[in-house]
Amino acid sequence: MAQNFDICIRGGGIVGKTLALLLARDRLKVALAPHPGPQNPATTDVRAYALNLASRRLLESLRSWPDAKHATAVRQMEVRGDQDGVVNFDAATQGVDALAWIVDVPALEARLDDAVRFQPHVERVENPVPAPLNVVCEGRASTTRAEFGVNFRVTPYGQTAIATRLTTERPHGQVARQWFSPEGILAFLPLDGPTGNSVAVVWSVLHDHAAPLMALSPEAFVEKLQAASHGTLGTLALCAERAAWPLQLATADRWCGPDPHSGGARRSWALAGDAAHNVHPLAGQGLNLGLADVEVLARVLHGRDYWRSVADLKLLRSYERERKAAVLAMGWTTDGLAQLFARQEGPVQALRNWGMKGFERSGPLKAFVARQAMGMY
């Protein structure tokens, strides 16, 4: 006998699996379908995400938070401009244990997979199945958005993110480091626990610079990183492959609507995560936004009147309004910073350097920004 599902989630990544587990707590029957795009399991995943306190609490509630070796607490963050501007954030000053946690993606995926495996209300399916509500969590390359008539407005940054991992001569000291310079935005994110000697690298560079960097030998590429990081962590060594992808600011014009393929049945769809929005990675908020999406969507469905279907558009539009506002604010912030540091004119460099110094001394403003980034609203 065919299984009847309440919700079909299209996309089995971190956001999709988190949503499935949240919905299963309300005993909703969930089908979890993988993204139909190409898969390359032979390629090592070098990604690491900076997750804030709100994301940690959410994943802990699902018993899916990785162990300390794979979720390194960030005690300090150091941001350097292209002159002498420096901004420092410190967990102790904010009265918290950590500003964020740098989470190893394969470890987080494994924890979520285990939780899904033992959740009887979630069933993995090969292809999407009929359900009152389809939630699209396929990521930025979603193929389902167009099927639902969604316009995904994309503004390319003209930049490419290069990601890899390094071992370092000096311990990272639980400090996340970021350098803004004419060559791009470079981030070293601490890995392997409090005493680790390795970092995840995200280097956002102009498109024209990305291909030559990717073509360099490992030794020559490390020399470039050594210079861009000013030798802060001593001698560096590449310990993983390099991955690259184009950067963009993007948002869907609609996050929910009636299913045009329902054949008269009362069915709806909704978007979440990168299928709904993309922001620049310089603030490390991409996955935090996606996890906040599914937490709000699950909360809205949990609080519905007993007679309302999960496909009720009134519910879904309240989710859309709440999350669109939050994502818009973060998109403006990251886009503004990206555009500011992309300018190479001397007066602009001097102005932003002055601005960084002023922000470092701003007191309440700096504390407010830190708490927003940490998910402490």
Where residue 375 falls (left for φ over 0; alpha for ψ -120 to 50; beta otherwise) is: left
Q: Which residue has the higher pLDDT, 144 or 284?
A: 144
Taking residues 183-203, what's their average pLDDT? 93
Q: In this predicted structure, what is the pLDDT of residue 365?
A: 40
Distance, CA of 99 to CA of 80 (rounded, Å): 17
Residues in the chain: 377
Write the pLDDT tens digit of every residue in 227-282: 999 999 999 999 999 999 999 889 999 999 998 877 656 899 999 999 999 988 76
Q: In this predicted structure, what is the pLDDT of residue 281?
A: 79
Q: How many other C-beta atoms can be found within 10 angstroms of the C-beta atom of residue 64?
A: 21
Average pLDDT in the chain: 85
Percent of the chain with pLDDT over 90: 65
Residue linked to tokens 């980034």: 373
- 93: three-class secondary structure by DSSP: helix
Sketch out the chain's domains with CATH numbers: 7-373 (3.50.50.60)
Single-letter code of the amino acid located at 273: G
Q: In this predicted structure, what is the pLDDT of residue 362?
A: 47
Q: How many other C-beta atoms can be found within 10 angstroms of the C-beta atom of residue 124?
A: 15
- 232: three-class secondary structure by DSSP: coil
Q: In this predicted structure, what is the pLDDT of residue 90?
A: 85
Write the pLDDT tens digit of every residue in 144-188: 999 999 999 998 888 999 999 999 999 999 999 988 887 788 999
DSSP 98: -
- 134: three-class secondary structure by DSSP: strand
Write the pLDDT tens digit of every residue in 293-334: 999 999 999 999 999 999 999 999 999 999 998 887 766 566
Residue 159 phi/psi, 5-degree rounding, is: -125, 155
Closest of 13, 30, 8, 33 to residue 21, by C-alpha: 30
Q: What is the pTM of this model?
A: 0.88
Write the pLDDT tens digit of every residue in 330-376: 665 665 555 555 555 455 455 455 454 454 444 454 454 445 554 54
Q: What is the largest CA-CA distance in the chain?
A: 70
Residue 70 phi/psi, 5-degree rounding, is: -105, 5
For 24, 122, 238, 284, the CA distances from 50, given in Å and listed in that order, are 26, 27, 21, 6
Closest of 189, 149, 186 to residue 168, by C-alpha: 189
